[in-house]
Chains A and B, each alone.
Chain A
Amino acid sequence: MHLDVRVPLGLLFLLLGIILIVFGLASNPAIYAQHSLGQNVNLVWGAVFALFGAVVLLLSRRGRSGGQPPA
Chain B
Amino acid sequence: MPFLHLPVLAATTGAPAAGDAIHEVILKLAGVDYLILGIYFAFVLAIGWILRKYLKTSADFFESGRSLPAWVCALGFIGANLGAQEVIGMAASGAKYGIATSHFYWIGAIPAMVFVGVFMMPFYYGSKARSVPEYLKLRFDEKTRALNALSFAFMTVFSSGISMHALALLLNSILRWDYNVCIAVSSAIVLIYIVSGGLTSAIYNEVLQFFLIVLGLLPLVLLGLKDIGGWSGLMARLQDYSAAQGMPGAWSHSWAQMGSAKANPMGIEWFGLAMGLGFVLSFGYWCTDFLVIQRAMAAKDMASARRTPLLAAIPKMMFPALVILPGMLAVALLQKHAGFQLPPAADGTPNYNMVVPAMLAQYFPNGMLGIGLTALMASFMSGMAGNVTAFNTVFTYDIYQSYLHPKATDAHLVTVGRVTTVVGLLISVACAYAARQFNNIMDMLQLVFGFVNAPLFAVFLLGMFWRRATGHGAFWGLVLGTLAAMGFQGVTLPVGASAGIKGGWLGAHWFFSSSMAQNFWMAIFAFTGCFVATIVISLATAPNKTDDQLRGLVYSLTERIKDHGTAWYARPATLGVVVLAAALVLNVIFW
- What's the tally of chain B residues with a CB closer than 8 Å to chain A? 36
Residues of chain B lying within 8 A (CB to CB) of residue A52:
211, 215
> What is the chain B residue whose CB lies nearest that of A12?
B43
Task: Bits for B181-212, please: 1 = Cβ < 8 Å to A, else 0.
Answer: 00000000000000000000001100110010
Contact at A24–B367, with CB atoms within 8 Å?
yes
Known: A2-B54, A71-B69. A20 touches B371 (CB 8 A): yes
Partner of A20, one of B47, B226, B367: B367
Contact at A16–B207, with CB atoms within 8 Å?
no
Chain B nearest CB from A48 CB (Å) reads 7
Contact at B367–A42, with CB atoms within 8 Å?
yes
Residues of chain B lying within 8 A (CB to CB) of residue A37:
223, 226-227, 363
Known: A12-B40, A35-B365, A36-B363. A23 touches B46 (CB 8 A): no
Task: Bits for B19-58, please: 1 = Cβ < 8 Å to A, else 0.
Answer: 0000000000000100110011001001100110010000
Q: B452 within 8 Å of A by Cβ?
A: no
Residues of chain B lying within 8 A (CB to CB) of residue A2:
54, 67
Complexed CA–CA distance, A49 and B208 (Å) = 13
Contact at B304–A32, with CB atoms within 8 Å?
no
Contact at A45–B219, with CB atoms within 8 Å?
yes
Q: Which of B51, B226, B366, B371 has the most CB of A within 10 A?
A: B371
Q: A65 within 8 Å of B by Cβ?
A: no
> What is the chain A residue whose CB lies nearest that of B197?
A3
Complexed CA–CA distance, A70 and B47 (Å) = 21
Contact at A27–B215, with CB atoms within 8 Å?
no
Complexed CA–CA distance, A2 and B204 (Å) = 12
Q: B513 within 8 Å of A by Cβ?
A: no
Complexed CA–CA distance, A52 and B32 (Å) = 20
Contact at B367–A8, with CB atoms within 8 Å?
no
Q: B465 within 8 Å of A by Cβ?
A: no
Contact at B367–A23, with CB atoms within 8 Å?
yes
Q: B364 within 8 Å of A by Cβ?
A: yes
Which secondary structure dominates where chain A touches chain B?
Answer: helix
Contact at B304–A41, with CB atoms within 8 Å?
no
> What is the chain A residue whose CB lies nearest that of B226?
A37
Contact at A41–B223, with CB atoms within 8 Å?
yes
Partner of B223, one of A9, A36, A70: A36
Chain A nearest CB from B452 CB (Å) reads 34
Which secondary structure dominates where chain B touches chain A?
Answer: helix
Complexed CA–CA distance, A35 and B40 (Å) = 24
Contact at B365–A42, with CB atoms within 8 Å?
yes
Q: A58 within 8 Å of B by Cβ?
A: no
Which residues 1-46 in A have Cβ within 8 Å of B in the complex?
2-3, 5, 8-9, 11-13, 15-16, 19-20, 23-24, 27, 31-32, 34-37, 39, 41-42, 45-46
Complexed CA–CA distance, A36 and B225 (Å) = 12
Residues of chain A lying within 8 A (CB to CB) of residue B413:
none
Complexed CA–CA distance, A50 and B367 (Å) = 14
- What's the tally of chain A residues with a CB closer than 8 Å to chain B? 32
Contact at B39–A5, with CB atoms within 8 Å?
no
Contact at B211–A45, with CB atoms within 8 Å?
no
> What is the chain A residue whose CB lies nearest that of B362?
A35
Chain A nearest CB from B204 CB (Å) reads 5
Contact at B50–A3, with CB atoms within 8 Å?
yes
Known: A37-B227, A69-B69. A42 touches B368 (CB 8 A): yes
Complexed CA–CA distance, A23 and B366 (Å) = 9
Q: B91 within 8 Å of A by Cβ?
A: no
Residues of chain A lying within 8 A (CB to CB) of residue B486:
none
Contact at B304–A71, with CB atoms within 8 Å?
yes
Contact at B46–A8, with CB atoms within 8 Å?
yes
Known: A5-B72, A23-B32. A16 touches B39 (CB 8 A): yes
Partner of A71, one of B47, B70, B204, B208: B70
Residues of chain A lying within 8 A (CB to CB) of residue B40:
12, 16
Known: A35-B363, A41-B365, A45-B219. A5 touches B371 (CB 8 A): no
Which residues 260-317 in B have Cβ within 8 Å of A in the complex?
300, 303-304
Contact at B69–A32, with CB atoms within 8 Å?
no
Residues of chain A lying within 8 A (CB to CB) of residue B223:
36-37, 39, 41
Residues of chain B lying within 8 A (CB to CB) of residue A13:
211, 215
Which residues 349-388 in B have Cβ within 8 Å of A in the complex?
362-368, 371
Chain A nearest CB from B566 CB (Å) reads 10
Complexed CA–CA distance, A16 and B372 (Å) = 12
Chain A nearest CB from B462 CB (Å) reads 33
Chain A to chain B contacts (Cβ below 8 Å), 13 pairs: A13-B211, A19-B367, A34-B365, A35-B363, A35-B364, A36-B223, A36-B363, A41-B223, A41-B367, A42-B368, A45-B215, A70-B69, A71-B304
Q: Give me the interface of A with B, judged by CB distance under 8 Å.
A: 2-3, 5, 8-9, 11-13, 15-16, 19-20, 23-24, 27, 31-32, 34-37, 39, 41-42, 45-46, 48-49, 52, 69-71
Top 5 closest A-B pairs, CB basis? A42-B367, A35-B365, A23-B367, A31-B365, A5-B204
Contacts beyond the supplied A8-B43, A9-B211, A36-B368: 13 A-B pairs with Cβ under 8 Å: A8-B47, A8-B204, A9-B207, A12-B43, A16-B36, A19-B39, A19-B367, A24-B367, A27-B365, A31-B366, A35-B363, A45-B215, A71-B303
